């Protein structure tokens, strides 16, 4: 299983953080945590920035977050046009880390403003692609 | 510190140049820069070709550009820093000449974009964001900058009407620039009524993809004095980086740390403060970008960029005229050529040759050039 399954249209197929996909498959959001210093990374990293340690364990995150900012995309790259317009957001998780994610199609732009409480949830696309989005 | 000068500048017409290929655009800019410097091509001992090459059909364009300009067998290579490519090209030339490895370098910023559709270009631009964690969600450059706009509006009460003042100002000056892609002024109403691209940004809040080239001839002080009586001095060079992914950036997303850092370095090197600047070229890829740039360059306090616009302070005759060549919004944005185009405009200003858009007595100019979604930012200070 290649990482190109990640997202609405994935570009990168090969990476060390492939296990993220199995968590998403189970409906979970997972981060990596350095076994040496305990620093948590989301989106997951394979290598710790602080001590260059490369043994990281997976930890499940709760998706509670606050919206930092967002946009509604009307002019989209070809692969994304079937879903246009769509919402993209940047949110801060309760552990202080930030995530760039689409906003669920069920959310209306009018309801959004920076600071709004959101939930980052695992999601599955029509082509069995896996991702997360803000609800 | 060694003194490095720009002794010649050249510019092609920007726009949908269906009449010209990449190498021919480069030739237009190079040839006019040689004429401007009044020197022969044989004096050039190296070329730095600046282009974000994924938009060009030609791969490794330095090869064909150096050949077409007659610059073999001198060294040539490509510089890529997205939209900041040719500002980084000047930085490279500065180092090459200061080190005495070279005497006279041609910095050639060039981009041939319109053989791709805007949709294809935005797909590539979206991939100038983090390709693992962001592009798979359908990012575009307008979308990224729109997210900064949303945040600025929420924090400071900035409105779409205020943002519209940027394209209205820049298109007014663009109408006086024969090299600009768009030479027709627009009104606030036209901006507000234009179709949404990535909310809150609309068509006329955006720069357009374009073909074009601009060229700078760079040399040391000794040669500059021999070759010209109107050198423009490179007084400050600031370049900084930021995480590429938005999620790794801190704070409320209402400013670019990367520009603040680049500005600090450039002001320090030039030993000036923002108050000393007579004329500026800032990266108005989008209306909001110009506003953030005022604040990040220290022309206004955080949140104060829109006041500067409303008071006309960045118009000709104002405290600090900005983008009086029309900016990216009028000229179009042939990515690799834009940084050199900004420096072309400043050189003209500092030599007193800017015609109807001349800023009286301009002695110090600042150019600010953002790369991509702000992973790179270059701030360059030139002096008459
Ligand atoms: C905004 C954008 C998506 C519009 O593309 P589009 O919808 O394909 O537009 P079209 O090419 O169909 O153009 C339709 C008309 O609008 C004009 N136009 C296109 N983009 C324009 C712009 N940004 N500003 C003003 N006019 C524009 C065209 O000249 C054309 O005019 P015409 O009908 O008189 O010939 C495109 O200009 C774009 O991608 N801009 C952003 C570039 C960018 O992100 N650069 C990097 C910045 S860091
Ligand atoms: Zn660690």
CA separation for the pair B266, B218 (Å, rounded)? 18
- Bridge partners of A130, per DSSP, are A6, A124
Q: Which of A62, A65, A44, A46 is nearest to A54 (CA)?
A: A46
For B363, counting Cβ atoms within 10 Å of its Cβ (0-12 exposed, 13-18 middle, 19+ buried), the class is middle
User: Is A11 an interface residue toward B (CB < 8 Å)?
Assistant: yes
Any idea where the domains of chain B sit in the sequence? 4-116+210-233, 133-209+235-383
CA separation for the pair B350, B353 (Å, rounded)? 8
pLDDT at A1 over 70: no
CB B209 less than 6 A from any atom of ligand 1: yes
- Ligand 2 center to residue A48 CA distance, Å? 5
Confidence band of A118 (pLDDT split at 50, 70, 90):
very high
Q: Order of strands across the sheet with A56-61?
A: A40-41, A29-34, A56-61
Across the interface, of B142, B154, B245, the residue whose CB is closest to A113 is B154
Instruction: Report ipTM (2 d.p.).
Output: 0.97
Beta strand spans in chain A (E)? 29-34, 40-41, 56-61, 64-73, 86-93, 98-103, 117-124, 130-134
% pLDDT > 70, chain A: 99
Q: Which residues of B are known to be catalytic?
A: 83, 333
Q: Quick one: DSSP state of residue A6?
A: B
Half-sphere exposure of B127 (CA within 13 A, CB side): 15
Q: Considering only alpha carbons, which residue of chain A is nearest residue B148?
A: A69
- pLDDT score for B1: 62
Residues 6+ apart with CB under 8 A from B365: B277, B278, B279, B280, B281, B346, B349, B350, B381, B382, B383
Buried b / exposed e along B73-91 (16+ C-beta atoms within 10 A)? ebbbebbbbbbbbbbbbbb
pTM of the model: 0.97
Record: contact B122-A88, CB cut-off 8 A? no
Q: Which two tokens stand for residue B51?
A: 């282009």
CA end-to-end span of chain A: 27
CA separation for the pair B329, B325 (Å, rounded)? 10
Say whether the peptide bond before residue B73 is cis (omega within 30 degrees of 0): yes
Phi (first) and psi of residue B162, to 5 degrees: -65, -40
Give the largest Cα separation in chain B, rounded. Answer: 56
Q: What is the DSSP string of B300-337?
A: S-TT-HHHHHHTTTTSTTSSS-B-TT-HHHHH-B-HHH
CATH 3.10.560.10 fits B133-209+235-383, yes or no: no
**Contact assessment for residue A104 and residue A135, using Cβ atoms and an 8 Å cutoff:** yes
Any idea where the domains of chain A sit in the sequence? 3-134
Record: contact B146-A71, CB cut-off 8 A? yes
User: Is B194 an interface residue toward A (CB < 8 Å)?
Assistant: no
Distance set, CA A4 to CA A11, A13, A42, B133, B319 (Å): 6, 4, 18, 11, 52
CA separation for the pair B65, B269 (Å, rounded)? 32
CA separation for the pair A28, B138 (Å, rounded)? 22
Q: Considering only alpha carbons, which residue of chain A is nearest residue B129?
A: A100
CA separation for the pair B67, B72 (Å, rounded)? 6
The position carrying tokens 């060694």 is: B2
Distance set, CA B212 to CA B51, B112, B340 (Å): 11, 7, 11
In angstroms and rounded to an integer, the radius of gyration of the C-alpha atoms of chain B is 19
CB B125 less than 6 A from any atom of ligand 1: yes
Tens-place pLDDT, residues A18-68: 999 999 999 999 999 999 999 999 999 999 999 999 989 999 999 999 999
CB contacts of B122 in chain A (<8 Å) are 75-77
CB contacts of B120 in chain A (<8 Å) are 77-78
**Contact assessment for residue B105 and residue B97, using Cβ atoms and an 8 Å cutoff:** yes
Q: What is the mean pLDDT of each run of 10 residues along chain B (384 residues)?
A: 91 98 98 98 98 94 98 98 98 98 98 97 95 97 98 98 98 98 98 98 98 98 95 98 96 97 98 98 98 98 98 98 98 98 98 98 98 97 97
Q: From 3.40.47.10, 3.40.50.720, 3.90.228.20, 3.30.70.100, which CATH number describes the B4-116+210-233 domain?
A: 3.40.47.10
Record: contact B137-A76, CB cut-off 8 A? no
The number of beta carbons lying within 10 Å of the beta carbon of residue B114 is 19
- Bridge partners of B237, per DSSP, are B380
- Average pLDDT of the residues in A88-111: 96
CA separation for the pair B230, B222 (Å, rounded)? 13
- Bridge partners of A73, per DSSP, are A86, B198
């Amino acid at each position: 299983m290649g990482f190109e399954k990640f997202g609405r249209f994935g570009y990168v197929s090969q990476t060390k953080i492939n296990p993220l996909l199995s968590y998403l498959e189970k409906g979970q959001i997972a981060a990596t945590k350095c076994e040496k210093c305990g620093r948590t990374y989301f989106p997951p990293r394979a290598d710790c920035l602080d001590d260059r340690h490369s043994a990281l364990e997976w930890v499940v995150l709760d998706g509670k977050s606050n919206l930092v900012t967002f946009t509604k995309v009307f002019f989209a790259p070809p692969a994304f046009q079937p879903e246009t317009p769509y919402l993209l957001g940047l949110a801060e998780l309760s552990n202080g880390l930030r995530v760039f994610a689409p906003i669920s199609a069920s959310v209306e732009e009018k309801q959004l403003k920076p600071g709004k409480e959101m939930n980052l949830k695992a999601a599955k696309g029509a082509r069995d692609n896996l991702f997360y989005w803000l609800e | 510190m060694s003194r490095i000068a720009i002794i010649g500048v050249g510019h092609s017409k920007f726009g949908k140049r269906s009449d010209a290929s990449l190498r021919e655009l480069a030739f237009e800019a190079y040839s006019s820069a040689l004429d401007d410097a009044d020197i022969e091509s044989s004096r050039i001992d190296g070329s730095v070709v600046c282009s974000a090459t994924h938009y060009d059909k030609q791969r490794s364009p330095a090869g064909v550009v150096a050949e077409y300009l007659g610059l073999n067998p001198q060294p040539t290579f490509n510089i890529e820093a997205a939209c900041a490519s040719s500002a980084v090209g000047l930085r490279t030339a500065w180092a090459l000449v200061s080190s005495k490895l070279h005497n006279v370098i041609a910095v050639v910023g060039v981009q041939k974009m319109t053989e791709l559709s805007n949709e294809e270009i935005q797909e590539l631009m979206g991939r100038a964001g983090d390709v693992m964690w962001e592009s798979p969600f359908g990012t575009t450059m307008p979308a990224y900058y729109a997210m900064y706009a949303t945040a600025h509006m929420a924090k400071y009460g900035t409105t779409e009407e205020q943002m519209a003042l940027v394209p209205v100002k820049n298109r007014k000056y663009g109408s006086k620039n024969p090299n600009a892609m768009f030479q027709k002024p627009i009104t606030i109403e036209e901006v507000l009524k234009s179709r949404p691209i990535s909310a809150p940004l609309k068509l006329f809040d955006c720069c357009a993809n374009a073909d074009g080239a601009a060229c700078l001839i760079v040399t040391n002080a000794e040669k500059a004095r021999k070759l010209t009586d109107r050198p423009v001095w490179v007084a400050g060079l600031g370049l900084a980086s930021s995480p590429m992914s938005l999620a790794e950036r801190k704070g409320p997303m209402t400013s670019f740390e990367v520009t603040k850092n680049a500005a600090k370095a450039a002001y320090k090197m030039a030993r000036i403060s923002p108050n000393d600047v007579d004329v500026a070229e800032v990266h108005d890829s989008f209306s909001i970008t110009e506003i953030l740039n005022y604040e990040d360059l220290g022309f206004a306090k955080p949140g104060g960029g829109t006041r500067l616009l409303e008071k006309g302070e960045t118009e000709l005759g104002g405290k600090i005229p900005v983008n009086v060549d029309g900016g990216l919004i009028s000229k179009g944005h042939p990515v690799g050529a834009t940084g050199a185009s900004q420096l072309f405009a400043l050189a003209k200003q500092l030599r007193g040759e800017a015609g109807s858009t001349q800023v009286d007595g301009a002695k110090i100019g600042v150019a600010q050039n953002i790369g991509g979604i702000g992973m790179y930012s270059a701030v360059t200070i030139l002096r008459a």
